[in-house]
Amino acid sequence: MNPQQLSALIPLLVFVLFFFFFVWRPQATQMRRRREMLRSLREGDRIVTVGGLYATIDKIKDEELTLELAPNVKVKADRSAVQTVRSRQQAKATQ
Provide the residue ranges of all domains of the chain, joining segments of one domain with +. Answer: 1-39, 42-95
Q: What is the pLDDT of residues 12-24, one digit of tens each?
A: 999 999 999 898 9
With cut-offs at 50, 70 and 90, classify the pLDDT of residue 32.
very high
What whole-number distance in Å separates Cα of residue 83 and Cα of residue 55? 11
Do 65 and 89 touch, CB atoms closer than 8 A? Answer: no
Classify the phi-psi angles of 52: left when phi > 0, otherwise alpha if psi is within -120 to 50, otherwise beta. Answer: left
Neighbours of 58 (CB within 10 A): 15
Q: How would CATH label the architecture of 42-95?
A: Roll (2.30)
Average pLDDT, the chain: 91
Q: What is the pLDDT of residues 64-77, one digit of tens each?
A: 999 999 999 999 99
Whether residue 30 has pLDDT greater than 90: yes
| The predicted structure's pLDDT at residue 91 | 53
